[in-house]
Amino acid sequence: MAKTLIKLENVSFRYNTQTVLENVSLQVEERDFLGILGPNGGGKTTLLKLVLGLLKPYSGKITLFDGEPIVNRHRVGYVPQLFNFDFEFPITVREVVLMGIIGKRRFRHGYNKTEMELSDKVLNKVGMNSYAETLIGDLSGGQRQRIFIARALATEPQLLLLDEPVANIDQQWQHSIYDLLHELNKEIAIVVVTHDVGIVATYIDKIACLNRTMHFHGSTRDGIPRISEMYQCPFEFIGHEIPHRLLGKHNHD
Amino acid sequence: MIEILHYEFMRNALLAAILVSIAGGIVGTMVVVKRIVFISGGISHTAFGGLGLGYLIGVNPILTAIPFSLLSALGISVARKYTRISEDSAIGILWSVGMALGILFVEMAPGYAPDLMSYLFGSILTVTTTDILIMILLDLIIIGLVFFFYNQFQAVCFDEEFAEISGISVRFFYSLLLCMVALSVIILIRVVGIILIIALLTIPPIIARQFIKKLKPLMLWSVIISTLFTITGLFLSYYFDLPSGATIVLTLTVVFLISAGVKKLSASNR
């Protein structure tokens, strides 16, 4: 049986009096590629922050790698939304990537050989090895996203959590980022939250819809083989009724 | 030009110019990139309460200002975490309470406070050897902290959330950063005064940032630029008999305007 990485049991969350999440239950297992789809303001980022122990649930229970989120969150590779960042900030690609292991390093100046090798290795994995000394601000949106994925990989995670990984990134890069995630999924579980039902549908193998309450639709593999595998080429849906067409009819109430 | 170096006050002033530039350049760079200029303004004004206390109990006001500015730094950090008061409101309160206490203490102190103005607006020519020793000590603390915790400070300034997840205490390093701002304030008081401190924390890094994009060189160049033009301001104030703190700040401002113009021209010529 596959190991459970994230388990949410009847989790609710409120900001002041406003209920953002209500009775959400979810299970993420090894090697999953889960897409959590939902409108903006539907609670997707809140859900990720709960899983990472940055927020505490109002009720319900969250288990991360069989323990408390706050204890085990360093084993998660988190890729936040890019638009919150100040990209004028003076920081190089290598410095960003090595933030991934900053909790483990001792207090001293400069990076040692192991750290240089680790950063080269993860940058190589995302195809950005020639950019180590470049400033993050000098990169394009797609390149930055790869760097943030590399930073998450530097933590040597068993699970990647990505928040809107292709928002404001041009088409060509969107595919290359999902191709990269698809490749990484051979070793680690991946959870993507997004409001954009387009491109993600081609890659994920489990779907959950989130808008305050969650509807887990399970595996897309059981019923329908993954579209991209079927056609042997990248494939993208256009139109807002896509999940329904992909999954067949399903009710939310 | 050389003969004025025979005066002890001038040697102290030059030394002070370098020492304030080290603190102002390094910490100021972080203040500017982390965008905590207003917080730093709050910490510096709160220190006035400490100065007043010094007058009241008859101790070197610089020494009593140290706990005041450190406490205000920690107070802002705590307010951010535990209260529902927004950070900028908390700063506003500390800012005015610090000033109010200072005025009260000075009023209650016996006699007249002749050099009060020099703490408010700076007086680089009256820096004493004791002041210099305090500055050296605090500069060493700042250099040591930034040297050993460079990556931690950079990470916390760039992405607090990820730093927290990766297992470093964001609250600790953020508080430590504010404490370094507090120590810089102490170093800067004698030279530019409480009211003008924020200029030496912000203008040199802003000038440097137009041309330098990486953090370490940015700190280094902020120190160099600050040293150069604090000394220029010092000589201008000496020869034209102008108040030193204000002259230094205005010198830096003129340099900033010229550098912004140069930057603009070089960008449009490209």
Residue A14, in any domain of the structure: yes
pLDDT band (50, 70, 90) for residue B1: low
pLDDT band (50, 70, 90) for residue A252: low
Q: Which residue from A140, A234, A243, A148 is spatially nearest to A195, judged by alpha carbons? A: A243
Average pLDDT (B58-70) is 92
Contacts of B26 in chain A (CB under 8 A): none
Q: Measured on CA atoms in the order B203, B206, B210, B216, is the torsion positive or negative?
A: positive
Tell me the nearest-neighbour CA distance from B167 into chain A, angstroms: 4
Contacts of B215 in chain A (CB under 8 A): 90-91
Residue of A250 and B124 predicted with greater confidence:
B124
**pLDDT for the residue numbered A118:** 94
* Confidence check: pLDDT of A228 > 50: no
| Other beta carbons within 10 Å of B179 | 20
**Dihedral Cα A202, A204, A209, A214, nearest 10 deg:** 170
Residue A28, in any domain of the structure: yes
pLDDT band (50, 70, 90) for residue A199: confident
**Distance, CA of A32 to CA of A30 (rounded, Å):** 6
The CATH number of whichever domain residue A45 belongs to comes to: 3.40.50.300
Tell me, yes or no, if B84 comes closer than 8 A to chain A by beta carbon: no
Tell me the nearest-neighbour CA distance from A102 into chain B, angstroms: 6
Residue A124, in any domain of the structure: no
Q: Compare all CA atoms of chain A with the CA of B168 and give the residue at the minimum distance.
A: A103
**pLDDT for the residue numbered A161:** 95
Contacts of B213 in chain A (CB under 8 A): 90, 135, 137
Contact criterion met (CB < 8 Å) for B159 and A85: yes
For B7, B158, B212, B226, B257, the CA distances from B204, given in Å and listed in that order, are: 28, 21, 12, 5, 12
Q: What tokens appear for A210 in the block?
A: 């989130």
Amino acid sitting at position A64? L
Average pLDDT (A115-136) is 94
Domain that holds residue A234: 4-86+159-195+203-247
3-state SS assignment for residue A213: strand
* Confidence check: pLDDT of A92 > 90: yes
Chains A and B form CB pairs within 8 A to the count of 69
* Confidence check: pLDDT of A236 > 60: no
**pLDDT for the residue numbered B6:** 80
Mean pLDDT, all residues of chain B: 92
**pLDDT for the residue numbered A250:** 57
A59-72 per-position pLDDT tens digit:
999 999 989 999 99
Average pLDDT (A88-97) is 96
pLDDT band (50, 70, 90) for residue A169: confident
Residue A97, in any domain of the structure: no
Average pLDDT (B1-29) is 90
**pLDDT for the residue numbered A227:** 44
Average pLDDT (B183-187) is 95
Q: Within its chain, how far is the Cα of A13 from the centroid?
A: 20
This prediction's pTM: 0.88
A26-37 per-position pLDDT tens digit:
999 998 999 998
Q: Compare all CA atoms of chain A with the CA of B143 and give the residue at the minimum distance.
A: A109
Q: Which residue from A141, A182, A184 is spatially nearest to A164, judged by alpha carbons? A: A141
**Distance, CA of A179 to CA of A173 (rounded, Å):** 10
B77-109 per-position pLDDT tens digit:
888 777 777 778 888 998 999 999 999 999 998
* Confidence check: pLDDT of A77 > 80: yes
Q: Three-state SS across chain B?
A: CHHHHHCHHHHHHHHHHHHHHHHHHHHHHHHHHHCCHHHHHHHHHHHHHHHHHHHHHCCCHHHHHHHHHHHHHHHHHHHHHHCCCCHHHHHHHHHHHHHHHHHHHHHHCCCCCCCHHHHHHCCHHHCCHHHHHHHHHHHHHHHHHHHHCHHHHHHHHHCHHHHHHCCCCHHHHHHHHHHHHHHHHHHHHHHHCHHHHHHHHHHHHHHHHCCCCCHHHHHHHHHHHHHHHHHHHHHHHHHHCCCHHHHHHHHHHHHHHHHHHHHHHHHHHC
Contact criterion met (CB < 8 Å) for A78 and B154: no
Tell me, yes or no, if B241 comes closer than 8 A to chain A by beta carbon: no
Q: Compare all CA atoms of chain B with the CA of A55 and give the residue at the minimum distance.
A: B161
Q: Which among B148, B165, B215 has CB closest to A78?
A: B165
Q: What angle do CA A168, B33, B76 make, to 5 degrees?
A: 110
**pLDDT for the residue numbered A167:** 84
| Other beta carbons within 10 Å of A56 | 11
B200-242 per-position pLDDT tens digit:
999 999 999 999 999 999 999 999 999 999 999 999 999 999 9
Domain definitions of chain B by residue range: 2-265
Contact criterion met (CB < 8 Å) for A91 and B164: no
* Confidence check: pLDDT of A222 > 60: no
Contacts of B151 in chain A (CB under 8 A): 95, 98-99, 102, 105
% of chain B residues with pLDDT over 90: 75
| Other beta carbons within 10 Å of B100 | 13
**pLDDT for the residue numbered A237:** 46
Q: Which residue from B163, B209, B204, B220 is spatially nearest to A95, judged by alpha carbons? A: B163
Number of domains in chain A: 1
Q: Is CATH 1.10.3470.10 the right assignment for the domain spanning B2-265? A: yes
**pLDDT for the residue numbered A2:** 77
Element (H, E) at A161: strand A159-163
